[in-house]
Chains A and B, each alone.
Chain A
């Protein structure tokens, strides 16, 4: 029982074990050790008295705090005497600086926080000596919110002049960030998740400290969230912690590999057992916002997002495959992974879970795989569609078959080039380059093919002409065609070109006429 001067009552100590300076719970002023009320002294006397008391207080408090720091270090199993000494020195300096700033009117920290200051001094000393210890441990021991400790720590760094020191610059202590990450990720401040995450970080601190803080934090937060029944995606964690997916994955793999990886699973199981007794978690078990995974959509979600029957089968399968953890989200995630593997390896079991998500890669975790399934029909639908499609596209199928058979036979089918013919100026020739003609008859044929005059030529007459041509080739007939001027090119070959509209009678007359004249 101690006395508070402000309130003028006797008060109980707030924190009996750890506090150096017991504080009144109401007005936060110092509690004096004797329960009897002090007589209020006269003014001048009081001033002198207060100075003496202050000095006394500081000396006393210094010694007390040294003891406190020592005890603290032992509690945290920090055996480095040098670090402890350093911490004490820091505390002294900090105390002096604080006093100076208080005299100058700057409101530094008041003696309220001497516990905090002491703890932070020890923390700084540890950091300087590269002893791996997290602020989180301090906060647990002291029973103070780690945020407050963090604030105090930063202030102390400034006061003690550590601002530009390397360890202050790279703030690697995850405990300062985990709370923030968790609250952003889960949209609520879940202490349990924070604790689990911090514990994970502690477990692996020996191996992974001083390296990628973001990755460590992210992985820890992810596992903690899963272990507590919050399904969060890796991508969310990436976004919150500002690391890339690869880093997070790497860290998770490392967690698994380290010795503490095995330890943490047991730890989680232990914690999870505790949690399962907690009613809160049971409510969360009933599915809530998690949709049912298996095909029996009508049934209620029993466990792991599956209905009763499927769940039992799944558990058996799990036992068979040698996996097993009994935390909610872990199992759900595991269920999904297993099913993924099942469907990949064409396991029989997969048929039951055919509608369950089976994403192929981690990249596309954010795609709703269930939604993608909606777009795919089953085999019966496919068969029905096949019949319809083949009926609608009969011609196309026929064309394809022809093409295939022609290709097999070695010919080349010329595609009807209607469009190309219509293009201005482009006259595409499908025929292969012909062999040079041996007789004039063949030459005629080739030229007429090339110049597409087939529609304008009377082939009977042409053939007759060439039959006669075996005889003297003096018979040169002029053209009587109303064709284009290309016809004049044929003169040199001694050909005869007649218009289509000439019938035989006219032809005969023309021939007679032609034989008389001798143009060329």
Chain B
């Protein structure tokens, strides 16, 4: 029951569990956005002065922007005590990064807690390795697709169940976003994969 191949795009180092991913491709997670409530009012100026990795430009944006190297991520910290953490590549890393930010705030001198950690968005991507006829797909799945090549080169497919948005490109690369849990990404991809194979662009004459 080996899980999790190396990703849809790159070469897979481990076997893919075909019962869980019948397509044989596993989307890789690219970005996790999460929020947490530190549950105390913060003086952003004090934090910006103490912390080396923080920037605070109140004229431009009301929040403090902090970055850490490991896990490589960025956080927006607001004076109300709420924090948004982005850039992590997995759910655990996002939680760890959020904890690190909370720790830094704690060390500056505020009684930060770690309340209501919630994953708000998960973004994944993969490659089906064959070109796709977007026009035909948009015509066939008109209710869900939105394809404006002049506006954006990819087809925006809004799946209803699970409620996920997929960006499908001609090259066969897929971006999946809008998930709250990892499994939604996988389900969405498995749902769309047969559709993509149906609209595969066979080798041109």
Contact = CB atoms under 8 A, between A and B. Distances in A.
Interface of A: 359-360, 363-364, 366-367, 369, 371-377, 381-382, 385-386, 389, 393, 395-396
A375 B99 contact: no
B50 A382 contact: yes
Contacts, number: 50
B58 A393 contact: yes
B106 interface: yes
B72 interface: no
A236 B9 CA distance: 33
Contacts of B50: 376-377, 382
B108 interface: yes
Given A376-B50, A376-B104, A382-B50, 11 more contacts: A371-B70, A372-B104, A376-B108, A377-B50, A381-B52, A385-B48, A385-B49, A386-B49, A393-B59, A395-B59, A396-B59
A382 B49 CA distance: 5
B106 A360 contact: yes
A374 B59 CA distance: 28
Given A367-B96, A393-B57, A393-B59, A377 B52 contact: yes
Contact of B99 (A367, A373, A381): A367
A386 B45 CA distance: 9
A63 to B, nearest CB: 52
B68 interface: yes
A373 B49 contact: no
Interface string B42-72: 0001001111110011110000000010100
B100 interface: yes
B115 interface: no
A304 to B, nearest CB: 23
24 contacts: A359-B103, A360-B103, A363-B114, A364-B99, A364-B103, A367-B100, A367-B103, A369-B103, A371-B100, A372-B104, A375-B52, A375-B53, A376-B51, A376-B107, A376-B108, A381-B52, A382-B50, A385-B48, A385-B49, A386-B49, A389-B48, A393-B59, A396-B58, A396-B59
A255 to B, nearest CB: 28
Contacts of A385: 48-49
Contacts of B114: 363
A363 B50 CA distance: 24
Contacts of B57: 393
B100 A372 contact: yes
Interface residues of B, number: 22
B47 to A, nearest CB: 10
- Could you tell me the dominant secondary structure of chain B's interface residues? helix
Nearest to A383: B49
A389 B45 contact: yes
A375 B68 contact: yes
Interface string B81-112: 00000000000000010011001101110000
B49 A372 contact: no
A373 B104 CA distance: 8
Contacts of A364: 99, 103
Contacts of B51: 375-377
Nearest to A377: B52
B104 A375 contact: yes
A393 B49 CA distance: 13
Contacts of A375: 51-53, 68, 104
A372 B66 CA distance: 12
Contacts of A382: 49-50
B74 to A, nearest CB: 13
B60 to A, nearest CB: 10
Contacts of A395: 59
A377 B50 CA distance: 6
Contacts of B106: 360
B112 to A, nearest CB: 9
B122 to A, nearest CB: 23
A366 B49 CA distance: 27
A364 B104 CA distance: 12
A373 B107 CA distance: 8
A378 B48 CA distance: 12
A162 B123 CA distance: 53
Contacts of A389: 45, 48-49, 56
A446 to B, nearest CB: 36
A377 B46 CA distance: 12
B105 to A, nearest CB: 10
Interface string B104-146: 1011100000100000000000000000000000000000000
A396 B58 CA distance: 7
A477 to B, nearest CB: 50
A382 B47 CA distance: 10
A372 to B, nearest CB: 5
A55 B38 CA distance: 78
B107 to A, nearest CB: 6
A374 B57 CA distance: 22
A376 B66 CA distance: 12
Nearest to B102: A364
A386 B96 CA distance: 30
Q: Of B48, B53, B57, B58, which is in contact with the most chain A CB atoms at under 10 Å from its CB?
A: B58
Nearest to A378: B50
